[in-house]
Amino acid sequence: MKAGRLRSTGVAAIVSLVMVSLPAAAPAASSKVVPGQSIQAAVDAASPGDTIRVMPGDYVETHGGTAAVRITKPLKLLAKSRLPRVKVRILPGPGQNHGIVVEPANPGDPDVVGVTIKGFTVQGFANNGIWLRHVQNFTIEHNESIDNLENGIWPTLSANGLVKKNVAYGSEDSALWIEASENVRVLNNEFHHSPTGLEITVSRNIVAKKNDVHHNSTGIGLYHPSAASLPPLGDDGHWDIVGNYVHDNNESNDAPPGSMSADLPPGGGILVLGVDNVNIERNRIENNNFYGITVVDYCLAVAGSSFDCSSNPPQVESAPDNNTYVSNVLKNNGTAPVSFGGLEAFAADITYLMLEKGHANCFAKNKYGKFMSPIVPPIVASSCE
């Protein structure tokens, strides 16, 4: 017994000596940026895991990059703002098309893991406000994206993220676009005055909950992979659209002519465009002039356009399947649709436009005034089990 204890004590001593001899990991540091200084310079000087705090004021970066701020390492970028009155604004400098970009330093490098962007107002960029690609474990919180003309906030090719309590408006595509990403939560944001308020494409395991989506052309767009620039991930879908307020989405569509976004008619609440495995539940959807919820076969929607399926065959089936629509409250939708190739005849609280019968979509416990379908309606049951 004693010998055993002595051997254990010896091992412990050796381990202790080894631990003492190893260099200690450097603790995360914190730095401060004030008006007149460069946020990008602070980002470049930071070590992975550091926190950068930016004081209120306007910041125009003067370096030669295409993004005002480019982040290629894990860190926290925190604005000492109190929106909406006290702001840290990032504005375009010469040659800068994007506000904040987070991406690996070089193509093919591992994903950036662990980034927080909080409290910034990013305004007036020709392309994107806050753009993440190949990023994991990210938080985008309490930011404003204003008049960034492509997309306001755009996580793409990213995973395990939180987009919370942001305000985004004034884009010519989407206020927020979740693309080719997985395990992202979109909570308590406000999206308005864009062709699409909240867009999701080519993604899986997305939760959009308690967002205020209003005064867009289309409030929430759940779009078929052919509407995106990337191939399907595989097992796409599993999107929960729950408890959102989707209202008054009747603004004119200012998307660039010839783009797919430009083909969206104003007046749309939630557009389910050929996607599968989606749950739309407990949303309040009202005062959208064309429709509250439209479920439509992608090939039917783009027929006759430059995106027609006959010349651009979709990579996956075009009809929406295995979707549930439960306990939504729809009011005063479809009352003043614009002329749109005859489809305005199907304006309603809920519109179901399919090329064929037999697709598994379930509607239950919704409150609505008018349901429109050109074929036999889907099963309307008391439950969607």
Residue 120: pLDDT above 70?
yes
Which distant-in-sequence residues (6+ apart) come within 8 Å of 18 by Cβ? none
* Mean residue pLDDT across the chain: 89
The structure tokens 């509250």 sit at: 292
Segment among 11-20, 358-367, 369-378 with least mean pLDDT: 11-20
Specify whether the CB–CB gap between 61 and 38 falls below 8 A.
Answer: yes
Band the pLDDT of 205: cuts 50, 70, 90: very high
Residue 26: pLDDT above 90?
no
Which residues sit opposite 58 in a β-bridge? 89
Peptide bond into 84 cis (omega under 30): yes
* pLDDT for the residue numbered 379: 54
Segment among 115-124, 134-143, 351-360 with least mean pLDDT: 351-360
Instruction: Name the nearest CA neighbour of 169 among 191, 149, 154.
Output: 191
Residues 104, 108: Cα–Cα separation, whole Å = 8
Band the pLDDT of 237: cuts 50, 70, 90: confident
Residue 310: pLDDT above 90?
no
Residue 55: pLDDT above 80?
yes
Which residues sit opposite 71 in a β-bridge? 102
* pLDDT for the residue numbered 9: 37
* 118 residue type, one letter: K
Between the alpha carbon of residue 281 and those of residues 70, 329, 372, the distances in Å are 38, 9, 19
Residues 127, 241: Cα–Cα separation, whole Å = 27
* 102 residue type, one letter: V
Share of the chain above pLDDT 70, in %: 90
Residue 139: pLDDT above 60?
yes
* pLDDT for the residue numbered 229: 66
* pLDDT for the residue numbered 25: 52
Band the pLDDT of 366: cuts 50, 70, 90: very high
Structural domains of the chain, ranges and CATH numbers in brackets: 38-372 (2.160.20.10)
